[in-house]
Structure 1
């Protein structure tokens, strides 16, 4: 993570744990940015992704500005900001999502959807680096169809998944067909291994102009 981002996240942590007046009031703009992020993805079959990606970038820029202003105080503020960054494109964005969701979960340890985002952002960090995910929250699509991204064998068990608000591995595997149908896709008949995905990326980099 770049040093300025680390400093910014540390400042957010200090703001969150420092007693201030109206500390428990959630930031309305962060909540609105989160709502917009979710609404943009509500109709899986009719999404203009070029528009969504552009709006995502605008939302992340605004969240960063609010972070710098010290606007994030509550667990919900950190969660709302984390979800916006969870839909970023690069590894730095996902690392911010993981840090913010971890802060949200620390501030409100009983909120299971905060824990879910900790798991999902960790999985996305791993997938972005072509490493097996742990929890089973990440699905990917290709020309051959939608698939559950490869899982690290033995990294965690279903009891830990349940603690983090994540379905069991069998449940996630069973959801592939349902999710594919909701997005107007098909399930990939033979999901790729992590080695195959790495090879596909190498071939893509070789073929790039």
Structure 2
């Protein structure tokens, strides 16, 4: 599982936003993601995932899925990692719930997901900023609303400067 996780993360490290507009790059990434999900699902179904690190890694693999069911499974895997003692898995638990909610047409609640609608400036919308207090965000390793707003302003300024 560690190898699958390393592969999943490596393709996403230091990738500029412009590279994500290259459809050949994106299609290869999606195909590789699908293969990793297939391998991870086989490990999960055969009972070969059992440690907090296994579940944590598997959560990231399924977070990069294509369907709401992938994100919901990722959320459950993250919860299993937390239950087995991996505290830092709480962030991926929040992120997977946000991604699931967005993909079923609901507002995210933690603010972990970014969108670039029609190549416009980045946004976290739709986002229910009121449901989750900053104290809970902090407990789960998610930035506070003020930090999220600062990060958003920086990303938007950076992207606007490159246009």
- In which range does the TM-score fall when normalised by the shorter chain? 0.7 to 0.9
* Number of the residue aligned with 2:72: 95
Query: Structure 2: where are the runs of 5+ without partners?
Result: none
Indicate if the aligned counterparts of 1:127 and 1:149 stay in contact, CA closer than 8 A.
no
Distance, in Å, in 2 between the alignment partners of 1:136 and 1:91 is 17
Q: Which residue of 2 aligns with 1:139?
A: 114
Structure ranking higher in helix proportion: 2
Alpha-carbon separation, structure 1, partners of 2:56 and 2:160: 32
Partner secondary structure for residue 130 of structure 2: coil
Which structure has the bigger radius of gyration?
Answer: 1
Instruction: Pick from 84, 92, 106 the counterpart of residue 117 of structure 1.
Output: 92
- TM-score (ref. length: structure 1): 0.69
Query: Per the alignment, do residues 152 and 85 of structure 1 end up closer, same or farther by CA in structure 2, a change over 3 Å counting?
Result: same
Deviation above 6 Å: which 4+ runs of structure 1? none
Shift of 1:152: 1.3
Contact persistence 2:111–2:129 (CA under 8 A): no
**5+ residue gaps, structure 1:** 1-29, 188-209
Normalised to the residue count of structure 2, the TM-score between the two structures is 0.87
Per-residue CA deviations over 1:95-122 (Å, capped at 9, x if unaligned) read: 11001001111111xx332000111111
2:105 pairs, out of 130, 134, 157, with 130
